[in-house]
Amino acid sequence: MKWLNVIIKYRPWLGILFLAIAIFVNYKAGFWPSFILYLIGVILLAGHFLFGPMRLIQEYIENGDLEGAKKIIASIKFPGLLIKPVRSVYYTIKGNLDMAEQNFDSAETNLKKSQNLMGGGGLLSGQLKQAEGANKLQLGMLAMQKGNMKEAESYIRQAIRAGLPDSENNAAAYLQLCSIMMNKREFRAAKQYFAKAKSYKPTTPQIVDQIKQVEKYIARMPG
């Protein structure tokens, strides 16, 4: 649906154009002939500020174009106007981009903003719930980067309870728990979490490599 991406990309300018034409038609022929033009213009502008260009960001991320994703994120000047689930995704993506640049403090700030937007009830809460586990897993990994193992373990356990979207995320979560248990010298638990991580049969090269590295030490552990 490339035509939709084009509309989203130029939505604010199209909105302004329709409003300008509506004002001209209103001046020449009256309000009612211009009503539909006003309506289209308002819908386009409202869509830009309430929903943003998030669909465009997804395409950049899928293609591994982080610079393109950063430009789209930077084009959102008023994130506070985005509706709640879209704002949550906005901060999650900002956090992920920060992590890619190893800007961990900013990543943590943005991911926590996203997490705070996942509260509440109703239909929107149900939509946000799908991303809650992955968000908490990211926060857990950030805590590990900072050496805060207690907070990391708490976040990762919360992520598993909330539910993770796929096998790769589940494998990553249990692998991190395995690492935490090894650090705490709770070797039996470490082995259990390692077996759980392997059971998800991840295919992401980074996770597969981590499993191979841990496997060298697991067999020699007591317990």
**6-62 pLDDT per residue, tens:** 899 999 999 999 999 999 999 999 999 999 999 999 999 999 999 999 888 878 877
**Residue 68 shares a structural domain with residue 34:** no
Q: Quickly state the pLDDT bin for 190 (edges 50, 70, 90).
A: very high
What pLDDT does residue 76 have? Answer: 93
Q: Quickly state the pLDDT bin for 198 (edges 50, 70, 90).
A: very high
Domain span at 178:
174-223
What pLDDT does residue 126 have? Answer: 47
Based on the structure, what is the number of domains in the chain?
3
**Residue 156 shares a structural domain with residue 217:** no
What pLDDT does residue 127 have? Answer: 47
SS (H, E, C) the chain: CHHHHHHHHCHHHHHHHHHHHHHHHHHHHCHHHHHHHHHHHHHHHHHHHHHCCHHHHHHHHHCCCHHHHHHHHHCCCCHHHCCHHHHHHHHHHHHHHHHHCCCHHHHHHHHHHHHHCCCCCCHHHHHHHHHHHHHHHHHHHHHHHCCCHHHHHHHHHHHHHHCCCCHHHHHHHHHHHHHHHHHCCCHHHHHHHHHHHHHCCCCCHHHHHHHHHHHHHHCCCCC
Residue where one domain finishes, among candidates 51, 74, 89? 51
**Residue 68 shares a structural domain with residue 159:** yes
**Residue 121 shares a structural domain with residue 147:** yes
Mean of pLDDT values over 102-129: 75
Mean of pLDDT values over 196-219: 91
**Residue 154 shares a structural domain with residue 205:** no
**Residue 120 shares a structural domain with residue 149:** yes
**Residue 29 shares a structural domain with residue 108:** no
**Residue 83 shares a structural domain with residue 154:** yes
What pLDDT does residue 119 have? Answer: 60
**Residue 75 shares a structural domain with residue 153:** yes
